Amino acid sequence: MIPKDVCPNGGVGCRVTEGMGTTTLAFYQPVYNEFGVNNNPDMNTTTIPLSCSTCGRKFISTYQGGKRTVDIVPEESKEIASED
């Protein structure tokens, strides 16, 4: 799902497909405080390309440390990728 504040169409009528994602691979040793809270969470990054078949725009979804962000891919980079 593309957040409404990122999608130029406000997320209306979007049909999004996910591409092949990648994840960094590093071990994060858990370090717990006296309350059982892990102070060293997993900070590996998962990146997934997204494509809207309605408007043709490309997005990048990034997930790290329990937070997900979605950014639009600039038009210039979409043109460069299509030339290859």
Question: 33-76: per-residue pLDDT in tens?
Answer: 999 999 998 899 999 999 888 888 889 999 998 898 888 888 75
Distance CA 51, CA 70 (A): 12
Please tell me which residue, 6 or 27, carries the higher pLDDT value: 27
Domain assignment present for residue 52? The answer is yes
pLDDT higher than threshold 70 for residue 77: no
Domain assignment present for residue 62? The answer is yes
Domain assignment present for residue 48? The answer is yes
Total domain count, the chain: 1
Domain assignment present for residue 69? The answer is yes
Return the residue matching tokens 């858990």. 30
Could you give the 3-state DSSP secondary structure of residue 79?
helix
Return the residue matching tokens 């980079």. 77
Is pTM, for the whole model, over 0.85?
no
Domain assignment present for residue 7? The answer is no
Return the residue matching tokens 């717990």. 32
Domain assignment present for residue 11? The answer is no
Domain assignment present for residue 36? The answer is yes
